[in-house]
Amino acid sequence: MNAPKVVVESLYKVFGNNPKQALDMLAAGATKDEIFARTGQVVGVQNVSFGVQEGEIFVLMGLSGSGKSTLIRLINRLVEPTSGKVIVDGRDIAAVKRSALTSLRRTDMSMVFQSFALMPQRTVLSNAAFGLEVAGVAKKEREKRALAVLEQVGLAAFAQKLPSELSGGMQQRVGLARALTVNPSLMIMDEAFSALDPLKRKEMQNVLLQLQKDQRRTIMFVSHDLEEALRIGNRIAIMEGGRLVQLGTPQEIISNPADDYVRAFFEGVDTSRYLTAADLMQTDAVPLVRHADTAAVTASLNGSADYAFVLDAERKIRGFVTREALHAATPAVAPRIAQVESISRAASLEHVVSRVVASARALPVVDDDGCYCGSVDRAAVLKVLTRSRGAHV
């Protein structure tokens, strides 16, 4: 695996006049509340460590005041750490000179906030090109690049309009376009979609996911909405009182919430919707055979299994052979291989359910290259459905 894009190591931020004292108190076991009560200082972030992989959408979640904004501002040094390290592309951010910080933020780490503050007297195009303008890119070039990005977010036709002529959701897209136009290697988005109504918010999430398909960027995204986090996050970090309480893929967090604080986010959310075939599959439920000759099939079906999947040398699925087919076979005539449709690893639970209920046998789950990964059957689906329902009662 590549080196992580961002590494955070034992990061602390204390807001107050004697941060050293607060750190000592934390080390001695005092809580954030005790420190506030005794010294008036606020522990914004405490002892947080994690890595963000190149190309992933990393979502920070947590209740109001849990330290999400502070944490991402520590990454581009809008907030100075009290102690600990932030490393971006192998470079220690603390060592970057103040004079170089502005350009770093402008070009390498674009930040998108909840309110985009578009310039009302400028056209959509000019707003989208603003980052490049500040960076000194010539007009023709920057407008060309901004227009390409407006195209990606579906606003090319509105390039010459003023922001006031656009709906709120469209304005939000202009803000996103402005951040994208500088082609940052790291996008930092703090509650970027939170001010939007649910429909527009979903639309923006789709725009972001589509962009992410075309050109993988590293995105750190703050949200207090679990459904948003589950939809767009490759991994989710959950914060409480300045600490990182859990970090994992949506599926890991759904299947194994660290504590009641994490579980409380799931109230009223149908988490099973976010599971995929890969989460449901078993890897050793169905025997596999390479050569579908009578001897090999006999050997693979010598247990309780009634059928085996037949794979080729590249682990692509060729079909399945049943016990009946084996009975009809002879040492000279190989058992008949029947066709089977496979399910993609990324298939949604809904899709898996519709396919599995229509099939008497388990179905193979394959990766993007069509290689066999495992199998899903009715029992696996039922188990997940009852478990995730159980979690809500």
* Span near ligand ATP by CB under 6 A; candidates 67-75, 161-169, 228-236, 252-260: 67-75
- Binding residues for ligand ATP, how many (CB under 6 A)? 12
Which tokens in the block code for residue 204?
């923006």
Q: How far is the CB of 31 from ligand ATP (least distance, A)?
A: 13
Burial of 337 (0-12, 13-18, 19+ CB in 10 A): middle
Q: Does 4 bind ligand ATP (CB under 6 A)?
A: no
Q: Does 19 bind ligand ATP (CB under 6 A)?
A: no
Q: Which of 15, 50, 113, 266 binds ligand ATP (CB under 6 A)?
A: 15
62 binds, among ligand ATP, Mg ion, none (CB under 5 to 8 A by kind): ligand ATP
Which tokens in the block code for residue 165?
């002529």
Of 61 and 180, CB closest to ligand ATP? 61
Burial 193-211 (b: 16+ CB within 10 A, else e): beebeeebbebbbebbeeb
82 binds, among Mg ion, ligand ATP, none (CB under 5 to 8 A by kind): none
* Span near Mg ion by CB under 5 A; candidates 13-21, 63-71, 177-185, 286-294: 63-71
- Tokens 């780490």 locate to 109
Q: Does 5 bind ligand ATP (CB under 6 A)?
A: no
CA distances in angstroms from 81 to 23, 32, 74, listed in the order given:
12, 17, 6
What span, in angstroms and rounded, lies between the C-alpha atoms of 238 and 261? 9
Q: Does 62 bind ligand ATP (CB under 6 A)?
A: yes
* Residue ranges in 70-89 that form contacts with ligand ATP under rule CB under 6 A: 70
Of 236 and 366, CB closest to Mg ion? 236
Q: What is the DSSP letter of 1?
A: -
- Sign, CA torsion 111/116/119/124: positive
Q: Select from 309, 335, 330 the least CA-distant residue to 320.
A: 309
66 binds, among Mg ion, ligand ATP, none (CB under 5 to 8 A by kind): ligand ATP
Inter-residue contact 182 to 131 (CB < 8 Å): yes
323 binds, among Mg ion, ligand ATP, none (CB under 5 to 8 A by kind): none
Q: Does 69 bind Mg ion (CB under 5 A)?
A: yes
In sequence order, what are the beta bridge partners of 99? Answer: none
CA distances in angstroms from 61 to 183, 252, 301, listed in the order given:
25, 15, 48
Q: Which of 4, 67, 163, 233 binds ligand ATP (CB under 6 A)?
A: 67
Q: Which helix (H) or strand (E) holds 103?
A: helix 98-107
Q: Which of 19, 52, 68, 159 binds ligand ATP (CB under 6 A)?
A: 68
Q: Which of 5, 6, 19, 44 binds ligand ATP (CB under 6 A)?
A: 44
Q: Which helix (H) or strand (E) holds 311?
A: strand 307-311
Q: Does 65 bind ligand ATP (CB under 6 A)?
A: yes
Of 68 and 231, CB closest to ligand ATP? 68
Q: State the CB neighbour count (10 A cutoff) for residue 238.
A: 26
CA distances in angstroms from 279 to 24, 250, 254, 255, 387, listed in the order given:
43, 11, 11, 9, 13
Q: Which of 2, 64, 99, 167 binds ligand ATP (CB under 6 A)?
A: 64
224 binds, among Mg ion, ligand ATP, none (CB under 5 to 8 A by kind): ligand ATP
Phi/psi of residue 303, nearest 5 degrees:
-90, -140
Q: What is the DSSP letter of 276?
A: B
Q: How far is the CB of 69 from Mg ion (least distance, A)?
A: 3
Q: Does 66 bind ligand ATP (CB under 6 A)?
A: yes
* Span near ligand ATP by CB under 6 A; candidates 61-69, 82-90, 159-167, 321-329: 61-69
What residues line the site for ligand ATP (CB under 6 A)? 15, 42, 44, 62, 64-70, 224
What residues line the site for Mg ion (CB under 5 A)? 69
